[in-house]
Amino acid sequence: MLKTAAASPTPVTAEILEARDRERLERAKAIFARLEALREPFTAETVLAPLNDMNVELTNINAEAGIYTAMHPDTAVRDAAERISRETIDFGQSALQSRALYDALGQVRTDDPLDRRFIELERRDMKRAGVELSDADRAKARELRAKLTKLGQDHARNIRDDTRHITLESTVELEGLPADYVKAHRPGADGKIVITTNPPDMQPFMTYAKSERARKALWREGQDRAKGNVQVLQELTKTRHELARLLGYPTWAHYNLEERMVGTPEQLDRFLNEIEAIARPAAMAEFALLLEEKRLDDPSATTIGEWEQAYYTNRVKTKRFRFDAQEVRPYLEYRKVRQAILDLNAELFNMTFTPVVHEERWHPSVESFDVTIDGKPAGRISLDMHPREGKNKWFFNAPLRVAVPGRQEGHGVLNCNFPDPATVQGPALMEHAQVVTYFHEFGHLVHGLARANIKYTRLSRVSEGDFMEAPSQFLEEWISDHKVLTRFAKHIETGKPIPEDLVKRLRDARDFGRGLRILTASVALSRLSLAMHDGTRPGADPRELAKEIMAKYSPFERLEGTAYPASWEHMNGDNYSAAYYTYLWSNTIAKDLHTAFGGDLMDTSVSLRYRDRILAPGGTKPAAALVEDFLGRPGDLRAFTRWLTGSDA
């Protein structure tokens, strides 16, 4: 088992972090020097094992630096993490460009399928880093990659450090909001009520507040965050295009999509066209219903603003499905939700979660658990779940330490921004949509835990990035199941379990607006990320591209003059750069995977098979093979199409 931590943790300092990670970097450089000096014969023992050792050192640095950059409250630690991350990435690029190592890998002969898979992916990574270029072009590629790393850090920091707020004109502008929300937003010492752009504030406000003035003002602040990123995004897209061309690709989109299931921008275009054709009729019918509802307030209305979408969607759901999202809030208290997620995953995947205090806990609100799978140690998880200054305001999972069998146990971390029981007045109640997000992110965490027994760190992640959201979207389905909800959803005042009728109305209402969500969010943003990287206008003003794309794919009125998409978190790294479609692609897979359960989500014989055939293999097989192993057939779009058209009801 992992060592349980002391009751009084000692957060890492900038000095400790830098010293520890520089030691790791020096070890990695020493291993690399030995690899470059190797002579024949090249074998798994002489090449693959030390290469994996080097990868472990580099992965440990980047994992730790990534977590502390996003979550550590000490600015000095965040700055040190950024510095060491840049140096590590730069060295990693140099190693990937080693012709001697590239050739040695090509000469290793092995019958082990994991060895062969490792060689295949490592050599592909090296080719994509420019190993086959001339000396001068390799140096240029490293220079461009270093620039991209710095720009990505600047982009993330600009978003992280820019929390906006509005001041309400009076308590009247809280009308429509839940009582617990109103109680948590009393006037301050100056008599003013402040609403921030942090998710626990903004999401309920945009859904329930009757004041159109206040909703519009808050939406504008949210859209206008991180103005400096307009220029950063221009530099990012221009530099990405330059690097892709240097590496022999027509555009960054071709480079970014090459190693994914979709393969090419052309195939992605066909996929998005296919989904749009299905989604658009449903989306426009839903928009008509929203406009009809708005005309009850304003008979002359001809359009709906983006800042009105959530509000009128909730009103339509209330009338058509007798479902008001506020009804569910008293059943969704944060602590009970957290425990329910642990209990559910324990049952589905035969896990245990034992509370511990992490030795280097970076904030008092962080909760940690040691994990077992099938009774065997499987690592640790930490949950950093509430907003604070200096912390990333998005929702994601990442490793603090990657699992290496026989050497180190993994440590996965969730970064979320949910209501904090320690700071709100009264119970920390959640929106059902927030609980869905919690389940989604925990799906990533379970994926990381399940793939802990893969000897090569390069194979511990699925190689096709557009598969990575499938395990997280897969887990979302459980939060709308009555059998699951009754386990923990008890009314905070009466203690009674959530009524079956309320869950039925929730299920009936939850999919209203799916056509609009798929068209205006999934398809539109997928098109925007592609347009920013398709080579037609490298370095273009992202605001203008967003204006053009949203005009084609969204019927909602947009606010003019904001910095959007400057605060689009997904654009700062390679993962989603030209590939925001990943969420949509993965959603089609998740819907397909659900068909194996035949309506019984608590069938543990299926969930354990899913754990072992989808999650545990990591990148040891292509993602399409994992899906076929689990379903007994190739994946397809039928389940997703039935869901999107409503024919699965």
Please give, one letter per residue, the 3-state secondary structure of 343-354: HHHHHHHCEEEE
Pick from 318, 623, 321: nearest CA to 468: 623
pLDDT at 508: 87
pLDDT at 649: 55
Helix-strand-coil split of the chain, %, nearest 5: 60, 5, 35
pLDDT band (50, 70, 90) for residue 425:
confident
Domain 330-511 falls under CATH 1.10.1370.40: yes
Query: Residues of the chain with pLDDT > 90: what percent?
Result: 93
Q: What is the CB neighbour count within 10 angstroms for residue 188?
A: 10
**The domain 14-132: what is its CATH number?**
1.20.1050.40
pLDDT tens-digit map of 96-105: 999 999 999 9
User: How many whole angstroms separate alpha carbon 374 and alpha carbon 611?
Assistant: 12
Q: At what angle do helices 75-96 and 49-71 cross, to 10 degrees?
A: 150
Q: What is the CB neighbour count within 10 angstroms for residue 218?
A: 24
SS3 label, residue 316? helix
Domain ranges (residues) in the chain = 14-132, 143-148+157-162+227-303+315-320+513-649, 163-223, 330-511
Per-residue exposure over 378-406, b if at least 16 CB sit within 10 Å of its own CB, e if not: bbbbbbbbbbbebbbbbbebbbbbbbbee
Pick from 464, 355, 459: nearest CA to 404: 459
pLDDT tens-digit map of 196-219: 999 999 999 999 999 999 999 999
Q: How far is CA 105 from CA 93, 126, 129, 270, in A?
A: 17, 11, 15, 36
- List own/partner pairs for 184-187 with CB under 8 A and 24 or more apart: 184/424, 184/425, 184/426, 186/425
pLDDT surpassing 80 at residue 430: yes
Mean pLDDT over residues 175-185, rounded? 94
pLDDT surpassing 90 at residue 144: yes
pLDDT at 2: 39
DSSP 456: -
pLDDT band (50, 70, 90) for residue 580:
very high
pLDDT tens-digit map of 492-527: 999 999 999 999 999 889 889 999 999 999 999 999
Asked if 504 contacts 457 with a C-beta cutoff of 8 angstroms, the reply is no
pLDDT tens-digit map of 581-604: 999 999 999 999 999 999 899 999
The torsion angles phi and psi of 399, rounded to 5 degrees, stand at -80, 140
Pairing mode, if any, of strands 376-384 and 396-401? unpaired
Mean pLDDT over residues 113-139, rounded? 98
Residue type at 413 in one-letter notation: V
SS3 label, residue 413? strand
pLDDT surpassing 60 at residue 1: no
pLDDT band (50, 70, 90) for residue 122:
very high
User: How many whole angstroms separate alpha carbon 156 and alpha carbon 392?
Assistant: 8
The answer for residues whose C-beta is within 8 angstroms of residue 224's C-beta and 6 or more apart is 164, 562, 563, 564
Residue type at 38 in one-letter notation: L
Asked if 168 contacts 195 with a C-beta cutoff of 8 angstroms, the reply is yes
Q: How far is CA 492 from CA 183, 335, 480, 488, in A?
A: 15, 11, 19, 11
pLDDT at 14: 98
pLDDT at 4: 46
**The domain 143-148+157-162+227-303+315-320+513-649: what is its CATH number?**
1.10.1370.10
Asked if 466 contacts 261 with a C-beta cutoff of 8 angstroms, the reply is yes
| Furthest CA-CA distance within the chain | 81
Q: Which residues pair with 404 in a beta bridge?
A: 408
pLDDT at 605: 97
143-148+157-162+227-303+315-320+513-649 and 330-511 share one CATH topology? Answer: yes
Pick from 621, 490, 524, 638: nearest CA to 276: 524
At residue 105's C-alpha, the angle toward residues 103 and 110, to 5°, is 135
The secondary structure of 570-607, three-state, reads: HHHCCCCCCCCCHHHHHHHHHHHHHHHHCCCCCCHHHH
User: How many whole angstroms separate alpha carbon 536 and alpha carbon 552?
Assistant: 18
Return the H-helix or E-strand segment holding 645: helix 638-645
pLDDT at 531: 98
Mean pLDDT over residues 355-379, rounded? 97
Pick from 404, 330, 649, 299: nearest CA to 507: 649
pLDDT at 3: 45
pLDDT band (50, 70, 90) for residue 7:
low
pLDDT surpassing 60 at residue 6: no
The torsion angles phi and psi of 9, rounded to 5 degrees, stand at -70, 160
pLDDT tens-digit map of 287-313: 999 999 999 999 999 999 999 999 999
